[in-house]
Chain A
Amino acid sequence: MKRFAKLIQQLELSNKTNDKIAALVDYFNFADDKDKIWVIALFTGKKPRRPIKSALLKYWAIEITQTPEWLFSESYSNVGDLSETIALLLPPAEKTSDIQLHKWIENLHDLEGKDDETKKDFILNAWNTLETQERFIFNKLISGNFRIGVSNKMLVNALAKQSSLDSAQIMHSIMGKWNPYEITFTELINGAHVNTDNSWPYPFCLAYALEQEPEKLGDIAEWQAEWKWDGIRGQIVKRNGELFIWSRGEELVTEQFPELHFLINILPDGAVLDGEILAVQDKQVLSFSTLQQRLNRKTISKKQLEDAPIGFFVYDILEFEANDFREHPLSERRKILEQLIGSLDESAVILSPVIKCKTWEELAELRQTSRSINSEGIMLKKLSSHYHSGRKRGDWWKWKINPYTVDAVMIYAQKGSGRRANFFTDYTFAVRDGENLVTIAKAYSGLTDKEIKEVNSFVTKNAIEKFGPVRTVKPELVFEIAFEGIAESKRHKAGLALRFPRILRWRKDKKAAEINTLDDLRQLLASTFIND
């Protein structure tokens, strides 16, 4: 447990990927094999069985420390984490122990079915033998997730470095089905439980942003134009009767998207598709925020499947009949793809349409309508192009539309959660409406840590009123807010709502008197109606 506690501390302290990987490699070099299994399990979201509810942990901690419940809540809101709050509140341990991580997990497992008194004795005794940091981890084993900024990819890179095995193989192994109570470390990283020959993906071909007039690209007839979709770029691999879905982050996400699993019966063996995972309904692309409900989830509920159905818009085919097709020109690959996918009538797998235009002007005009179909612009691909590994200038271009922007002033601030629990990070913005300010958007992303600290300091000094966690602040700080769309809304006082608002930059050069007005936004709203 001490070794694992030290690993967690190291992972938390560094923001540098290399440091984190070094800490992981160091851990995997020296830790007990059974512990390693659990570290991989915990970091990839495989939770051990949890015999005790976290409410009970809280209750017992309150009882033995004789802390009033409201004071526990105050402490919790300052610390931002239940396991840590309990660990810090408890008196110092009177004993020490050297029980290993996997042993703790097994002991917890054995508590299943026991009565509450037995469980309580076990927990209180554990608390009394663990240091604060170990206690925190122990509580996490029972009640939480280890969100410490270790991506699957990072974990895999560390394992690859430590074992000298291929990283795609390890990714496949650890994302596969395995039972941490049964498998050995060697079996796990060697993929004894999976066939790693089947899963490997190709490097994605990426495009540069088009910064010149498209006319400079030459004859439009030499180019294939497609909509640029804003989702999760992915590859679907079907080999030897197995199906795998890879995201661009080189993570296996097969389990997250059951809507695509039927492809196992449709695709021939030895086929690899490139495309975009999107929220899709009736073959229409939904907004990115809908898709977001489906991302980074370990389990998916029925409701999520209904609320945010996903689909795969197919761009390209990289492997067909077990042959690598990447060196064939795009025009050829597209033909194969059309034969393979074009005939399907599936709402979840759709051939991403090619936009036919005779002139660049015509295409430029169409591009202006991108937003109406939740596209963020146009992709231009040379018909003769190969499928390159990574980014190569010249063959593929993305021609994105610019977001809308508005200058607004911050009027409310609210503390964030988790890592940001002690800083005002969620802001509400307003524009001018005559003499008044009217709120138009809430946004929390887009500032650097440094800027957030500066804003935080401003909020602390300039808070006018306090409503629970919300502070009303002097309307002074001006921000440029970017957004993807605007719509009428009865729910908002302004009568309109911005889609996907985020902070583009802090306009320190502007005063509150110089911000946009509600009329500016009304005009924008009217003009988008005309576009529709």
Chain B
Amino acid sequence: MIYCLVLMALIEFTKRGIYCKQGDFYVDPWWPVDYAVTTHGHSDHVRFGNKHYLCHTLTKPIIKRRISEDLNVETLNYGESIVRNGVNISFYPAGHIIGSAQVRLEYKGEICVISGDYKTEDDGISDIFEPIKCHSFVSESTFGLPVYKWQKQDLVFDKIKSWVSDNIPQQKTSVLIAYSLGKAQRLIKNLAGSVPIYVHNSIANLNEVIINAGVNLPETIRITPETTKDELQRGIVIVPPAMRDSRWIKNLSHPVTGICSGWMQVRAHRRWQSADAGFALSDHADWTGLMDAITATGAEKVYVTHGFTAAFSRFLNDEGIESEEVMTKFGQEDDEENKVDLADGENQKKETENISAE
């Protein structure tokens, strides 16, 4: 495992994150820096305290809403570029969530692409992942084992829809647990139609921001204290992971919870979540997606970050693609897939206190 390594030229992995010396900027740093190039709006990739942010146009309102209105943010559209200290920086779709970008760096003919988080399947709401030719590629490996191969999302959404339509006549309330940025909008886009969708405040707020930015998102209903249990029972309820096991859910009429996460592919994970249903739906590339994406870049060197780094980079090396695992802090705190897995401590603590107070 290499923690701090100086490479050929363009990027190095430092304690603060991925650093480009020639351009003097960081990509998704986890400690405050002067200039932070930001791949997407999930909180393990964008943090408070940087002097300048560069992100995709659609990510700007999201991080302003989530972090602070006062952020100093420059934006690029996909395919656009700026030059910083001689380094050409451009953005290409990563297909992970709305506004997610791969960062392409070019300096004196040397090209490096940092993928951030990505998936190769069209989710119907994010711009579709676009492979970029490069010399070196930084790839995530959240699901870098061959047992993680997703079904087409249409099949998964059919399963979710049939789960909901079984629940409604049985007087059960269908509650889907999904990260408020990304997974929630993907569910809304693909489930909208037959029954009304009710969303938690934190999701409704983000939806507002996303719709104002010009994204076409189907209509949803914000849950308020006035929303009745009967209404919710006849619809689909979407709440963020922090609401799991909450008393609010327990008080619904016969609530049944469904978790939408790539981890739900495996029985052991499904059984760990005391959810009533698990749907393997991920915003990260599966094994096939990772391999396809990496092959398409034609990269001579692949840096493997968060996930099954050791196994995945060993496999790449065996396949003749030079690869190295790199320790990062991505996916450790707020990544949506991990959040489902390692439910957030704060919330649990509160819940435990509530329970012991009863």
Contact = CB atoms under 8 A, between A and B. Distances in A.
B342 A12 contact: no
Interface string A74-115: 110011110011001100000000000000000000000000
Interface stretch (A158-166, A264-272, A450-458): A450-458
Interface stretch (B35-43, B48-56, B91-99, B268-276): B268-276
A422 B266 CA distance: 10
Contacts of A89: 146-147
Interface string A385-427: 0000000000000000000000000000000001111110000
Interface in B62-118: none
Among B148, B272, B343: residue with most chain A CB under 10 A: B272
B164 to A, nearest CB: 16
Contacts of B348: 450, 453-454
B70 to A, nearest CB: 30
A13 to B, nearest CB: 6
Nearest to A149: B271
Contacts of A75: 145-147
B352 interface: yes
Contact of A13 (B148, B277, B341): B277
Among A12, A79, A460, A461: residue with most chain B CB under 10 A: A79
A68 B315 contact: yes
A29 interface: no
Contact of B272 (A68, A422, A460): A422
A81 B318 CA distance: 25
B311 interface: yes
B342 A456 contact: yes
A88 B265 contact: yes
A266 to B, nearest CB: 46
B342 A457 contact: yes
Contacts of A489: none
A14 B268 contact: no
A450 to B, nearest CB: 6
A457 B314 CA distance: 26
A118 interface: no
Contacts of B351: 450
B149 interface: yes
Interface string B135-165: 0000000000111110000000000000000
B268 A80 contact: yes
Contacts of B315: 68, 71
Given A71-B315, A419-B272, A88 B266 contact: yes
Given A13-B277, A423-B272, A74 B342 contact: no
A157 B236 CA distance: 34
Interface string B321-358: 00000000000100000000111010010011000000
A421 B268 contact: yes
Among B267, B272, B276, B342: residue with most chain A CB under 10 A: B267
B278 to A, nearest CB: 7
Nearest to B274: A15
B308 interface: yes
A362 interface: no
B289 to A, nearest CB: 15
Chain A interface size range: 20 to 34
Contacts of A420: 268, 272
A449 interface: yes
A15 B277 CA distance: 12
B352 A88 contact: no
A67 interface: yes
A305 to B, nearest CB: 34
Nearest to B245: A450
Contacts of A13: 270-271, 275-278
A208 to B, nearest CB: 24
A453 B268 contact: no
Given A454-B345, A460-B342, A419 B271 contact: yes
Nearest to A70: B314
Contacts of B345: 454, 457
B268 A81 contact: yes
Contact of A67 (B146, B267, B269, B341): B146
A79 B311 CA distance: 14
A422 B271 contact: no
A123 B266 CA distance: 22
A68 B268 contact: no
Interface in A425-484: 449-450, 453-454, 456-457, 460-461
A17 interface: no
Interface string B300-330: 0000000010010011001000000000000
B311 A453 contact: no
B318 A68 contact: yes
A65 interface: yes
Contacts of A70: 314
Nearest to A466: B1
Contacts of B274: 15, 449
Interface in A98-148: 136
Given A12-B267, A85-B147, A71 B311 contact: yes
Given A80-B268, A418-B268, A422-B268, 12 more contacts: A12-B271, A13-B278, A74-B145, A80-B266, A88-B265, A89-B146, A89-B147, A420-B268, A423-B272, A450-B351, A453-B343, A461-B332
17 contacts: A70-B314, A71-B314, A75-B145, A78-B145, A78-B308, A79-B266, A79-B268, A84-B267, A88-B147, A88-B149, A89-B147, A419-B271, A419-B272, A420-B272, A422-B272, A453-B272, A457-B342
**Nearest 6 Cβ contacts at the A-B interface:** A88-B147, A457-B342, A74-B311, A75-B147, A80-B268, A75-B145
Interface of B: 145-149, 245, 265-272, 274-278, 308, 311, 314-315, 318, 332, 341-343, 345, 348, 351-352
